C-alpha cells in the first residue's frame, strides 16, 4: 500500500493538476484521490491538445484511473454533474471511474446564498466556507444523503483496506500551504487542510506515504482581498506574460517574487521529498530573476544563478525539478 501526495507550497495556482496529470501517464496508480477543498479550486490540465479546467474531479480520469473526491472535500452537486458532462463532451470517458466518498459533505443552496449576500475575506462565493462550518457544527449534509449521488458513492475504508486491497494512491490537493486553515496567513485562508496531513484524513495511514511532491511557481501569485502585489510596473507585465488570471474566478492574480522562507517552511511541514518549480519560462521571457530572501527582494544575474541559489538552499532535503511549459516537467 502506497500513497504519494501532491501539495501546493504557495497560495494555489501552482500547477498541481499538471503534475498529477504527468504522474498518471504511466498508469501505475490504482487511484487518484482529491483530498481537500471544493469547487473553489480550479486545476488547469492540457490533455491531447485540449485544455480542461477541473474543479472537483481528480486528474486520474484522463488516463482511466479510478478518481475519487475524498471525505475532506465539499461537493457542489450541480457543478459535479456539469463537470462530468464537460469531460465526456471533451472526449474523456468517465464511466465507472469517478466516485465520491460517502461521507464527503455537500454544498447546499443555502450555503451558496449565504456567501452571495455576505462579504467574506477572500471568498470565491462558492459556498465552501459555510459547508465546512456546518460539517464541524455537525449540521451538514453528506453525499450519502443526496439520492442523485448514490451511483457515485464509495466507502474509503472498504476501498483502501478491505477485500485484499493493495492500493497505490496519488493524492491531489487543492489551494496551497499559504491558504491552509492552520498554517496560512489567517484570516486570509481557505476552510480546509491543504497539507500532507489533509490527505491522511481520507482513510490513508501515515505509514503508506512514499513521496510528497511539493509544487511551486518560480514566482508567486495570490487571489484574495489582502494586499500582496508591490506597486511596481514589472508585476503587471509578469501577470500578462504568465496569463495570471484565476481558473475559478477569472480575477487577476496579484504577483510577487517567490518567497524562499515560505517555500522552505512549507516543504518542511509537509515533508516534501520532490519539489517542482513551475513556469520558469515566464521569468525567462520577463528577463528578471528575483527571489524574496529574509523578507527582501534579491536580484540574481541570470537563470543559472537563481537555480544555483535554490538548489544550494533546498536540495539537501529533496529532489528539485525546474519546469517550463504547461505540458511537461
CATH number, domain with residue 317: 3.40.440.10
In a domain, 107, yes or no: yes
Question: What number of CA atoms fall less than 13 Å from residue 164's CA on the CB side?
Answer: 0
In a domain, 174, yes or no: yes
Instruction: Provide the pLDDT confidence category of residue 329 given band limits of 50, 70 and 90.
Output: low
In a domain, 259, yes or no: yes
Q: What is the pLDDT of residues 262-278, one digit of tens each?
A: 999 999 999 999 999 99
Residue 313 pLDDT greater than 90, yes or no: yes
Segment 232-261 mean pLDDT:
89
Query: What cell does 208 get?
Result: 503508506
Q: Residue 289: what are its φ and ψ, rounded to 5°? A: -125, 110
Q: How far apart are CA 289 and CA 257, in angstroms?
A: 9
In a domain, 176, yes or no: yes
Average pLDDT, the chain: 90
What does the DSSP assignment read for 23-61?
HTTT---SEEEE-SB-TT--EEEEETTEEEEESSS-GGG
Residue 4 pLDDT greater than 80, yes or no: yes
In this prediction, residue 201 carries a pLDDT of: 94
In a domain, 328, yes or no: no
In this prediction, residue 120 carries a pLDDT of: 57
Instruction: Provide the pLDDT confidence category of residue 315 given band limits of 50, 70 and 90.
Output: confident
What does the DSSP assignment read for 180-228?
-TTTSSTTS--SS--SHHHHHTTT--GGGEEEEEEEEESEEEE-SSS--
User: How many degrees, rounded to 5, is the angle at CA 259 between CA 256 and CA 260?
Assistant: 150
Strands of 219-222's sheet in order across: 219-222, 254-259, 289-293, 296-300
Could you tell me the residue range of the domain that residue 22 belongs to?
2-322
In this prediction, residue 112 carries a pLDDT of: 84
Residue 240 pLDDT greater than 90, yes or no: yes
pLDDT > 90 in the chain, percent: 65
In a domain, 49, yes or no: yes
In a domain, 100, yes or no: yes
In a domain, 189, yes or no: yes
In this prediction, residue 321 carries a pLDDT of: 95
Q: Give catalytic residue positions.
A: 13, 43
Average the pLDDT over each of 18-22, 71-75, 285-289 and give the range with the smallest value.
18-22
Residue 123 pLDDT greater than 70, yes or no: no
Q: How many domains does the chain have?
A: 1
Range with top average pLDDT, 15-29, 220-234, 269-283? 269-283
Amino acid at each position: 500500500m502506497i500513497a504519494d501526495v501532491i501539495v501546493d507550497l504557495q497560495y494555489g495556482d501552482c500547477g498541481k493538476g499538471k503534475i498529477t496529470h504527468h504522474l498518471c501517464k504511466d498508469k501505475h496508480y490504482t487511484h487518484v484521490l482529491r483530498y481537500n477543498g471544493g469547487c473553489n479550486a480550479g486545476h488547469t490540465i492540457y490533455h491531447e491538445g485540449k485544455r480542461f479546467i477541473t474543479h472537483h474531479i481528480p486528474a486520474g480520469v484522463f488516463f482511466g484511473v479510478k478518481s475519487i473526491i475524498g471525505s475532506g472535500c465539499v461537493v457542489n452537486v450541480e457543478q459535479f454533474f456539469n463537470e462530468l458532462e464537460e469531460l465526456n463532451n471533451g472526449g474523456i470517458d468517465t464511466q465507472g471511474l469517478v466516485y465520491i466518498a460517502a461521507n464527503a459533505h455537500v454544498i447546499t443552496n443555502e450555503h451558496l446564498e449565504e456567501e452571495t449576500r455576505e462579504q467574506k475575506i477572500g471568498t470565491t462565493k462558492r459556498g465552501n466556507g459555510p459547508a465546512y462550518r456546518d460539517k464541524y457544527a455537525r449540521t451538514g449534509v453528506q453525499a450519502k444523503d443526496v439520492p442523485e449521488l448514490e451511483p457515485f458513492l464509495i466507502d474509503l475504508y472498504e476501498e483502501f483496506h478491505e477485500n485484499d486491497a493493495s492500493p497505490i494512491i496519488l493524492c491531489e490537493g487543492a489551494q496551497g500551504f499559504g491558504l491552509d486553515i492552520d498554517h496560512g496567513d489567517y484570516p486570509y485562508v481557505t476552510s480546509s487542510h491543504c497539507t500532507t496531513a489533509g490527505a491522511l484524513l481520507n482513510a490513508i495511514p501515515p505509514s503508506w506515504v512514499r513521496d510528497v511532491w511539493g509544487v511551486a511557481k518560480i514566482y508567486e501569485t495570490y487571489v484574495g482581498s489582502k494586499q500582496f502585489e508591490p506597486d511596481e510596473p514589472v508585476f503587471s507585465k509578469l501577470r500578462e506574460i504568465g496569463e495570471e488570471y484565476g481558473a475559478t474566478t477569472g480575477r487577476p492574480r496579484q504577483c510577487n517574487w517567490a518567497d524562499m522562507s515560505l517555500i522552505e517552511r512549507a516543504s518542511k511541514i509537509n515533508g516534501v521529498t520532490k519539489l517542482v518549480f513551475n513556469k520558469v519560462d515566464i521569468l525567462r521571457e520577463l528577463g528578471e530573476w528575483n527571489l524574496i530572501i529574509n523578507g527582501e527582494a534579491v536580484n540574481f544575474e541570470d537563470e543559472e544563478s537563481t537555480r544555483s541559489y535554490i538548489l544550494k538552499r533546498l536540495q539537501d532535503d529533496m529532489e528539485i525539478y525546474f519546469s517550463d511549459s504547461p505540458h511537461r516537467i
